[in-house]
Amino acid sequence: MNAIPTIQTQAPVLVIDDHPIVLQGCRRVLEDAGVERIAEATTVVAGYRAFHRLKPAMVICDLTFQGSGLAGLALVRRMRDVDPKVRILVFSMHNDPVIVARALEAGALGYVLKDHASGELFEAFDRVRAGQVYLDRRLATEVAMLRTDPRRTPEAQLTPREQQILARLAQGKSYGAIASDLSVSYKTVTNACSQMRQKLGVRTLAELIHVAVTQAQRQG
């Protein structure tokens, strides 16, 4: 590993990831950087509880957790809702600019890919800890392009079935009515709504309906 400049931090750093090797790697980078107080959590629930208990000034968080999909997006948003001053760095394997944009919208200040060198993780940590935004040049360019390419918006990533359900949510229809309209089961509709909440980075049905209505207004 290349030499990394030493930094000091008094507040704890919380690392939330369900891969032991990733946790070990993050700990090694942070310890080499001189960080003394490091806490770890391996699930979304444990991470949120640790966040409440420890009140860290800095969090390094994955987005994908086994059995929970992109639950890290909602976790980032919840942590920022609780403490708007917390500085969150996403450390993820997802290089899709739509997901990166959603993470930033949820409240992350930085985003680093797991296949990058440890020196970049330190650089991102140092920048985010100082309250600055961090994205590598390629991700920054691709995220910026989302604003000018409507085909790559989060809504454009929905399947045709999800688009059908979203349109009916905008009309104020219930899950049962949507299932009847589309000749599918009630469970199919609820599962689709759960998937859409993850893709769109929203937490509740009310927020999903807001997205549906906003999209319908744009299209109208």
CATH of residue 189's domain is: 1.10.10.10
8 part of a folded domain: no
Residue listed under structure tokens 């920054």: 140
Q: Are residue 65 and residue 134 in the same domain, yes or no?
A: yes
Structural domain ending residue among the three candidates 92, 124, 146: 146
Contact call for residues 211 and 105 (beta carbons, < 8 A): no
Q: Are residue 159 and residue 95 in the same domain, yes or no?
A: no
pLDDT at 16: 96
Q: Are strands 87-92 and 38-41 parallel, antiparallel or unpaired?
A: unpaired
pLDDT at 7: 41
Q: CB burial class (10 A; 0-12, 13-18, 19+) of residue 162?
A: middle
pLDDT at 72: 87
Where do the H-state alpha helices sit in the chain?
Answer: 20-32, 44-54, 71-82, 97-106, 118-129, 137-146, 160-170, 175-182, 186-200, 205-219
CA distances from 194 to 76, 107, 200 (A): 17, 21, 10
CA–CA dist 148, 164 (Å, integer): 25
7 part of a folded domain: no
DSSP-assigned letter for residue 150: G
pLDDT at 147: 58
134 part of a folded domain: yes
Q: Are residue 138 and residue 123 in the same domain, yes or no?
A: yes
Q: Are residue 100 and residue 161 in the same domain, yes or no?
A: no
Question: By mean pLDDT, which of 9-18, 77-86, 131-140, 176-185 is the weakest?
Answer: 9-18
Structural domain ending residue among the three candidates 111, 131, 146: 146
pLDDT by residue (tens digit) across 169-197? 888 889 999 999 999 999 999 988 988 88
For position 96, which CATH number holds?
3.40.50.2300
Q: Are residue 160 and residue 67 in the same domain, yes or no?
A: no
Structural domain ending residue among the three candidates 146, 169, 189: 146
Domain count, the chain: 2
Question: By mean pLDDT, which of 63-67, 80-84, 189-193, 202-206 is the weakest?
Answer: 202-206
1 part of a folded domain: no
pLDDT at 208: 82
CA–CA dist 41, 31 (Å, integer): 17
Q: Are residue 101 and residue 18 in the same domain, yes or no?
A: yes
Q: Which residue has the higher pLDDT, 207 or 125?
A: 125
Mean per-residue pLDDT for 118-138? 89
CA–CA dist 66, 68 (Å, integer): 5
Q: Which domain holds residue 41?
A: 13-146
pTM of the model: 0.67
3 part of a folded domain: no
220 part of a folded domain: no
Q: Are strands 110-113 and 58-61 parallel, antiparallel or unpaired?
A: unpaired
84 part of a folded domain: yes
CA distances from 78 to 47, 60, 103, 106 (A): 11, 14, 12, 8
- Determine the longest span between alpha carbons in the chain, in angstroms: 62
pLDDT by residue (tens digit) across 140-173? 888 887 655 555 556 667 888 888 998 888 888 8
2 part of a folded domain: no
